[in-house]
Amino acid sequence: MDEQIKQMLDKKVWAVVGATDNASKYGNKIYKKLKRFGYEVYAVNPNYKEVDGDVCYASLSDLPKKVDCVDVVVAPKFAQKSLEEVIELGIENIWFQPDTFTVEMIDQSEAAGINTVYLNCVLVELDRL
């Protein structure tokens, strides 16, 4: 396992941008799996009030505490706003799921000094722990 991925998975407080109650979507699968693996996880999606029985927040800025890592599970046009919030809030780690980013977003994230993962799926990497 890549050292950067391992260090990120060692962080225990996560937000999932794009969390959803739709069981067929990755935002649901990732949210539930992180919880199952013992992570403190916050759902972020302006379209939901609750996900998996938990409060769902409209944005990262609305979270009750600063998270260690943000997992992005939305299309790039929505992910850009989340990246800007990560930078603004001083969050140190961001994980872009496949197909959720552009090259420019990765460059922006890394230029801001954020630990950035973007070619791997958190669902797969959790199984390697």
Total structural domains within the chain: 1
User: In sequence order, what DSSP letters do the residues of 61-108 get, joined into one string?
Assistant: GGSSS--SEEEE-S-HHHHHHHHHHHHHHT--EEEEPTTS--HHHHHH
Tell me, what CATH number does 104's domain have? 3.40.50.720
pLDDT digits (tens, 9 = 90+) for 1-37: 699 999 999 999 999 999 999 999 999 999 999 999 9
pLDDT given at position 1:
66
Q: Quick: pLDDT tens for 75-88.
A: 999 999 999 999 99
Q: Does residue 41 have a pLDDT over 90?
A: yes
pTM comes to 0.97
Range of the domain at 31: 3-126
| 110-125 per-position pLDDT tens digit | 999 999 999 999 999 9
